[in-house]
Amino acid sequence: MQGLEVTVLLGLAMLVGTVLAPRLRVATPLVLLVIGLALGFVPELRQIELPPETVLLLFLPVLLFREAWTTSLRSVRRSLRYIVPMSTLLVVASAFAVAGVATWMGVPWEAALVLGAAVAPPDATAVAALGRLLPERTFMKLKAESLTNDGTALVLYSIAVSLLIGDQVTPWQITGMVALSYVGGAAAGVAVAALAYLALRRMESTLTINLTLALVPFVAFLVAEVAHASGVLAVVFAGLIVAWIAPRITTAMSRRAADATWPFGVYLLNGALFVLIGLEIQLVLHEISPSEIGMLLLITVAAWIVLAIVRYLFQWFFSPFSRPGAGSSRSLRHRSRVVSTVAGFRGAVSLAIALSVPLTTADGTPVAGRDAVVFVTAGVIVLTLLVQGPLLPAVIRWAKLPTDDAAIEEFELAQRAISGAALTALDDLAAEHGVSDLVRDRARQEGYERLELANARAVARQRAAEERDRENDDMDAGGDDAASRMGPIPPGMDGDDDGRKPAGQLEMIAVSDDIDLTQRSPILRHKEATRLRLAILDRKREVLLRLRREGTIDDLVARRILADLDIEEIRARGMERATD
């Protein structure tokens, strides 16, 4: 098929899947995978192949960069005890367990080790697409694990392929490959992020800023691959670092443009990838002789079961070395391990690894077991997506994991903190920017109203949580006085029992006697209000980033509030200046 026909076909498939998924109440990636499997029954469509280098060089950098960008760096730091062993030792244990079972069932050892390396790592894009129902902390831990475990899997794959084609690999070579992969990948990511920082801090155009950001994942991947290091880790490190420094070196308009375009582009790539995986699985299925399919199906099911068992047992063995959460019981930890096991989806990276296996050895003979590697890998992907994917919501409901309200509480805390800081600095900002009392007092009234709204929302959420706790009999109805959590009270407001007074009863000074009459011009007042509003937004951003830097609030919470501040800035500046 021609390229244009393939593009139209993929677009139509994604459109159909996007429309059907909400009506069927099924995750969109699962519907797209089924559509790809169905299209694969058409012989002409099975000619559409998914080259491994396309996944590794086109899809993977963008998808991993976006997932790293939307991952909390604070969560990564706090969960290193979980992430490091899960992304290294668990991958190795899973690979060798699958290899042992596959060898026992008749697959040559070298090919079985390649199979183990291919199916060992959970896929970041699959976890991100199907794990949204998980509590925030659990979701971030799984996401961080799946972002970093591909590096381990690719090192194992390189070792296994060297053995498969007849090369000799010494322990020193293995040690060097591991060290180069991790250290070199991290160094490449840090170096590219540093270059991006130097370039972006000198840019003001929305177009050039976002073009530079779009190049970061590809440059990071390229630099790492040239150095024979892990391109996956390079992209992840670059994404985490650039996401952290972006608020200080990008503009409000560029951030809003990126937030609008990146999710759509990633959705297109992700959707096309799931459709292509379905087509590729059909191609692999039709290339296997019917006499071998029965045994390969048994190997596929066995590998899938082994992966689940090893993942659960590994978490159980390492639980003494982890840091259990407050109030965590043995039953809760068991249910959490079950949820994590079911959420271990495999995806495009596994298929790309399997398809990358050479066709012949160094002397030109066909590689033994390659067809089995590709078939079993494709089968494991289908089982994890189409069985574990629909099963995950039911498992989450069964697990009854504690409600994670930390992000909501931090959001409310940050809103009150930045509003209070802006009100405290209002007089100084007004004097610094030559703003009249009329404009200043109007801004103060708006600030008080926002602060009271944030306080009211906090109290409403707390009362709802207390009501939920009473209904579930999980805790006593008592608690701290809601009024004590409402944050700072604007000065000079008294009258009600709780020390508050409705914002509408504030006595605002309309115009001071010493103000020049020319300041009553609507145009001048508008300019003053704009200057003051931009100064207030700058102060709020400064306080917000300080809270993030101190670890008081999470990266994602700060990014959510920053997006609101960016919208306010764009409105204040006007679209004509914002799009410069």
Is residue 458 a part of any domain in this protein?
A: yes
* 34 or 496: which leads in pLDDT: 34
Q: 383 with 501, same domain?
A: no
Tell me which residue range forms the domain holding 556.
406-578
Distance CA 316, CA 425 (A): 52
Count Cβ atoms below 10 Å from residue 84 Cβ, excluding itself: 12
Contact of 68 with 235, CB cutoff 8 Å: yes
Q: 261 with 154, same domain?
A: yes
Is residue 35 a part of any domain in this protein?
A: no
Q: 3-state class of 554 per DSSP?
A: coil
Contact of 228 with 180, CB cutoff 8 Å: yes
* Region of residue 327 (left: phi > 0; alpha: psi -120 to 50; beta: else): left
* Residue (of 448, 544, 461, 35) closest to 278 by Cα position: 35
Exposure of 328 in the CB half-sphere (CA atoms within 13 A): 12
Answer whether residue 188 shows pLDDT above 90. yes
Q: 360 with 438, same domain?
A: no
Contact of 529 with 443, CB cutoff 8 Å: yes
Of 97-111, 248-262, 324-338, the poorest mean pLDDT is in 324-338
The string of pLDDT tens digits covering residues 299-340 is 999 999 999 999 999 988 877 656 655 556 778 888 888 999
Q: 456 with 337, same domain?
A: no
Distance CA 60, CA 152 (A): 16
pLDDT classification of 243: cutoffs 50, 70, 90: very high
Answer whether residue 262 shows pLDDT above 80. yes
Is residue 561 a part of any domain in this protein?
A: yes
The string of pLDDT tens digits covering residues 18-63 is 999 888 888 888 898 889 889 888 888 877 776 777 777 778 888 8
Q: 369 with 452, same domain?
A: no
Answer whether residue 190 shows pLDDT above 70. yes
Contact of 541 with 565, CB cutoff 8 Å: yes
Q: Among 370, 399, 428, where does a domain finish?
A: 399
Distance CA 147, CA 355 (A): 21
* Residue (of 540, 557, 546) closest to 140 by Cα position: 557
Q: Find the CATH number of the domain harbouring 318.
A: 1.20.1530.20
Q: Report the interhelical angle of 89-104 vs 109-119 (nearest 10°).
A: 140
Query: What mean pLDDT comes out for the span 176-192?
Result: 90
Q: Among 364, 399, 434, where does a domain finish?
A: 399
Count Cβ atoms below 10 Å from residue 203 Cβ, excluding itself: 17
* Residue (of 154, 145, 133) closest to 80 by Cα position: 145
Is residue 189 a part of any domain in this protein?
A: yes
Q: 341 with 418, same domain?
A: no
Q: 305 with 177, same domain?
A: yes
Distance CA 159, CA 152 (A): 11
pLDDT value of position 491? 40
Count Cβ atoms below 10 Å from residue 2 Cβ, excluding itself: 7
Domains in the chain, number: 2
Q: 172 with 98, same domain?
A: yes
Is residue 236 a part of any domain in this protein?
A: yes
